[in-house]
Amino acid sequence: MNTKIIETKVTVSSFEELDPSNQNLINKAKEEVSKAYAPYSGFQVGAAVELENGLIFTGNNQENSAYPSGLCAERVAMFYANSQYPDVAVKSIAIAAYTNGQFLEYPVTPCGSCRQVLLETEMRYDKPINILLYGIKEVFLIDNVRQLLPLCFEKSSLK
């Protein structure tokens, strides 16, 4: 028997330390929270996806009284971008969450379903997706989706 150590690299920054393009993408995600439909949880999430051609697609969470029928902001934005530009790789995604009248102090991370969709998108284009997770006090910068899902189920798992 042996032990493997699996580590995740996360760079922690303030919003002000980010370059203008990352600030812009986060601001787009923050704008989306006001459009979220979250009458049950009151937890509004916005996401902004930037493609390699510079276009930005946004989305927000959409709840449903039958909880499994809703959809997270990350998947709304990612599916929207992929449906409009299926041949253009995703460069980055920014995620922001808002509840109780304010943005969260610390970043929220994507749920397991969203991580799986982000991973599939990263594998689809064979290019890393930069992840920006916004919090008032700090922002997490993550170089690729595998950092969020190190023991992942992927295409090769089906063979």
Query: Could you list the active site residues?
Result: 74
Coil, strand, or helix at residue 88? coil
Report the 10 Å Cβ neighbour count for 150.
Answer: 10
For the stretch 120-126, contacts whose Cβ atoms lie closer than 8 Å and that sit 24 or more positions apart, written own/partner, are 120/154, 121/78, 121/82, 121/90, 121/145, 122/90, 122/146, 123/154, 123/155, 124/82, 125/89, 125/90
